[in-house]
Amino acid sequence: DIQMTQSPSTLSASVGDRVTITCRASQSIISWLAWYQQKPGKAPKLLIYEASTLESGVPSRFSGSGSGTEYTLTISSLQPDDFATYYCQQYNTYPLTFGGGTEVEIK
Amino acid sequence: QLQMQESGPGLVKPSETLSLTCTVSGGSITTYNSYWAWIRQPPGKGLEWIGCISYAGSAYYNPSLNSRVTISLDTSKSQFSLKLTSVTAADTAVYYCARRSRGRGYGYWGQGTLVTASS
């Protein structure tokens, strides 16, 4: 299985901050990577796919980059609605696997 | 707009079989290049991909669940189903159904249903 390692596991930030979350794959996933946002009691919401393509309707302050085994999700200016848990997921190889999650909390 | 809804018992006894159904509306379950998945999340923990079935009926499973999982498609009812045998307390989780298209992440999700494995 491809292991997905996210860091940090928790991130404290303030409104307006630039936030970066990293996801590392145990082998190349050729940019077949998605990022999700999940709020308590809700299903995850797709933000980005194919490492850097913004899902329709997602604010442009979210961006993704990376290739091979290293990927990042950046929020350019954190908004109150962005406090949530973020997951990466590879869909290059079965079984599909998720990172452990990054909780973005209010500083 | 595609909508997905999980249904099934919220309580399953240990050693018995967990059975859930996802009903799809607002779109076809046989749409080319669509993949229909089950994903679960134990309370307070992260997401685990259980498996998926393609628009053509090919199924892929997570080996961590060994041979306990079966996912099937019922095109006549626009549904797909999950069966997980020999459940234990470790299978207690919120179970989500979700859909992705080839090359994309899971863009459509059900609201999730909590299944508790307990006697």
Taking only the tens place, the pLDDT of each residue in A48-64 is 999 999 999 999 999 99
Q: How far apart are the first and last CA of chain A?
A: 35
Quote the CA–CA distance of B60 and A1 in Å, as a whole number: 13
Is the bond into B63 cis (omega within 30 degrees of 0)?
no
In which band, very low, low, confident or very high, does the pLDDT at A107 lie, cut at 50, 70 and 90?
confident
The 10s digit of each residue's pLDDT in A17-46 is 999 999 999 999 999 999 999 999 999 999
SS3 B75: coil
Q: Residue A56 is which amino acid? A: S
The beta-carbon neighbor of B49 closest among A32, A46, A97 is A97
From the list B62, B104, B109, the residue facing A95 with the nearest CB is: B62
Phi, psi of B66 (to 5 degrees): 50, -130
Residue of B nearest to A96 (CA): B49
Give which of B33, B39, B48, B49 to mutate to test A binding, by max A Cβ within 10 Å: B49
Cis peptide leading into A95, omega within 30 of 0?
A: yes
A12-16, A67-71, B63-67, B76-80: range with lowest mean pLDDT: B63-67
Cβ pair B10, B107 in contact under 8 A: no
* Cβ–Cβ gap A48/B105 under 8 Å: yes
Show the tokens assigned to B88.
């234990």
Reading the block at residue B117, the tokens are 């494995």
The residue whose two tokens read 């079989």 is B17
Q: In what order do the strands lie in the sheet with B69-74?
A: B3-7, B18-25, B79-84, B69-74
Contact across the interface for B64 and A95, Cβ inside 8 Å: yes
Q: What's the CA dihedral at B60, A88, B109, B116 to 10 degrees?
A: 80
